[in-house]
Amino acid sequence: MKTNYIAPYKPLSWQVEPWRDKAGVMLLTGSAGGGKSRLAGERMHAYMMKYPGAMGLMLRKTRNSMTNSTVLFLDRSVIGNDASVKHYPSKSRFQYNNGSILAYGGMANDEQREQIRSIGQDGSVDIAWMEEATKFTEDDYNEIRARIRGRAADWRQVVLTTNPDAPTHWINQRLIKGGEASVHYSSAADNEYNPPEYIDTLKSLTGVLGLRLRDGKWVQAEGAVYDIFDAGIHIIDGFPIPADWRRIRAIDFGYTNAFVCQWWAIDNDGRMYLYREMYHTRRTVNVHAAQIKRLTGDEYIEATVTDHDAEDRATLEEFRILTTPAKKDVSPGIQAVTERLKIAGDGKPRLFIFRDALVEMDTSLESAKKPSCTADEIDGYVWPKTADGRAVKEQPVKVNDHGLDTLRYAVQHVDNDAGPLLLW
Ligand SMILES: Nc1ncnc2c1ncn2[C@@H]1O[C@H](COP(=O)(O)OP(=O)(O)OP(=O)(O)O)[C@@H](O)[C@H]1O
Ligand SMILES: [Mg+2]
């Protein structure tokens, strides 16, 4: 394994000349805030500037997170007021006066993948950047690698930036341990551009999140409540929900903490699909209610199961969102969710999450290193431990559990409900 330490805050010229690392695959990992994204962004920009006619591709798992976060970052911090570059948001690209094009998008579903495939002559690309790379599947990576055959320069590259994930993750197995990438580590403590509060945020992280984001380690969560959850199985590409499937919503209120609203579809075999999700802090229930109405459109929602807060429920009801108080018992709820996550006799679990369910990313959560959707919460949702390290399987540690509480309400509702009244 080839690893070099980088101090990305040193001169930005590192990214430009000399190109210290021309390996075909470059992985920037380590703790949060080390400057990985900035470095990758500078590198993409510099490549576009240096090699006329270059085709660059910037990817995040969902197009939504790309446009709401990475593109803004690039626009504000990297490309800035460079007059030789124009941003065309409607075409999802930056166009350079020298003929280079830096296009961007997501790979969350077929529609997004098709958009990405249509980029570049013969689909060929000179340099690609996969941001928050652990969110991609190995197939996504293979597909992008196969396209790196541009001729604008005498070298090509896939750059991946990511915080660590589980040791079993394909990035750890194949790129780090398998030696496929040249690996560079960075850490927040070495980046003098981080505000001091940022370091404090990292210091306060506990459990597996602390080990990964503060210490930069590829480690498994110990005592995960949903340890049978497998992103490769339970997170799937979205698809149009058939008209005859049942639908419900589940809501957990929050202001400082995230307000979560989940839309679930239930197929004719009783499997549940989280097909849409709002997950946002610092908005009033009024604002959320209007958005819920808008997103729901003319879908028929059988029930909206919510947390019990009387005032918040009353606000929803003013918007004619009729609510049903959730069954909140924790242990039975967790058991019910676990049952659904298990692979049944037909080879499938009974609960799925659409990859592109999140409608709008709350970027303040992302910067605070908090989960920004339900799926993000699962790894850090753990049982507390006794002094001698035994997990106490009664009540999970109450942190970053807003989406998972909501999910529990939805499952409890569906499992205890006979279904819609059939009248004949
Ligand atoms: N060379 C640099 N010059 C100026 N600012 C920098 C430089 N490198 C990093 N920064 C700034 O430091 C902050 C953290 O950097 P960045 O977001 O790239 O880190 P990261 O490793 O991608 O973090 P995360 O793990 O959260 O994704 C950003 O505000 C970034 O603009
Ligand atoms: Mg980053």
Q: What pLDDT does 19 receive?
A: 61
CA 54 to chain CA mean position, Å: 28
351 strand-pairing partners: 272
Question: Would you say the CB of residue 77 lies under 6 angstroms from ligand 1?
Answer: yes
- In whole angstroms, give the CA distance from residue 282 to residue 36: 28
Instruction: Give the start-end residues of each E strand in 61-188.
Output: 85-88, 93-96, 101-106, 127-131, 157-161, 182-186
- According to the model, what pLDDT value does residue 418 have? 57
Number of H helices and E strands in the chain, helices first, is 15, 16
- Percent of the chain surpassing pLDDT 90: 72
Ligand index nearest the alpha carbon of residue 39: 1
> For a substitution probing ligand 1, which of 16, 43, 193, 218 has the most ligand atoms within 8 Å of its CB?
193
Q: How confident is the model at residue 3 (pLDDT cuts 50, 70, 90)?
A: very low
198-256 residue pLDDT tens: 888 888 888 888 999 999 999 988 889 999 999 889 999 999 999 999 999 999 999 99
Q: Give the DSSP letter of residue 224.
A: B
Ligand 1 pocket check for 194: Cβ under 6 Å: yes
Can you list the alpha helix ranges (DSSP code H) found in 129-261? 138-147, 170, 196-203, 207-209, 231-234
Residue 402: predicted pLDDT: 97
**Residue bearing the CA closest to ligand 1, atom 12:** 193
Q: Which atom of ligand 1 is nearest to the CA of 34?
A: 21
Q: How confident is the model at residue 394 (pLDDT cuts 50, 70, 90)?
A: confident
- 65 C-beta closer than 6 A to ligand 1: no
Atom 31 (ligand 1) nearest CA: 38
Q: Is 7 in the pocket of ligand 1 (CB under 6 A)?
A: no
pLDDT tens-digit readout, 305-322: 999 999 999 999 999 999
Asked if residue 37 has its Cβ within 6 Å of ligand 1, the reply is: yes
User: Could you identify the atom of ligand 1 that is nearest to the CA of residue 10?
Assistant: 1
Which of 37, 72, 187 has most ligand 1 atoms within 8 Å of its beta carbon, as the pocket-test mutant?
37
Residue in 400, 241, 272 with CA at minimum distance from that of residue 336? 272
At residue 420 the predicted structure's pLDDT band, cuts being 50, 70 and 90, is low
337: left (phi over 0), alpha (psi -120 to 50) or beta: alpha
- The Cα 13–Cα 132 span in angstroms is 24
Average of per-residue pLDDT values in the chain: 90
DSSP output for 379-391: GG-B--B-TTS-B
Q: What domains does the chain contain, in order, with CATH numbers?
A: 3-208 (3.40.50.300), 231-415 (3.30.420.280)
The residue nearest atom 5 of ligand 1, judged by CA position, is 193
Tell me, using a 6 A CB cutoff, whether residue 9 lines ligand 1.
yes
Please report which confidence band the pLDDT of residue 7 belongs to, taking 50, 70 and 90 as the band edges.
Answer: very low
Q: Is the CB of 12 under 6 A from ligand 1?
A: yes
Look up the pTM and report it.
0.86
CA of 162 relative to ligand 1 center, distance in Å? 12
* Residues in a beta bridge with 251: 261, 306
74-91 pLDDT, tens digit per residue, is 999 888 878 899 999 999
Residue scoring higher pLDDT (201 or 6): 201
Per-residue pLDDT, averaged over 362-374, amounts to 91
Q: Tens of pLDDT along 107-156? A: 999 999 999 999 987 889 999 999 999 999 999 999 999 999 999 999 99
What pLDDT is attached to residue 419?
53
Q: Whose CA is nearest to atom 1 of ligand 1?
A: 9
Question: What one-letter code names the amino acid at 324?
Answer: T
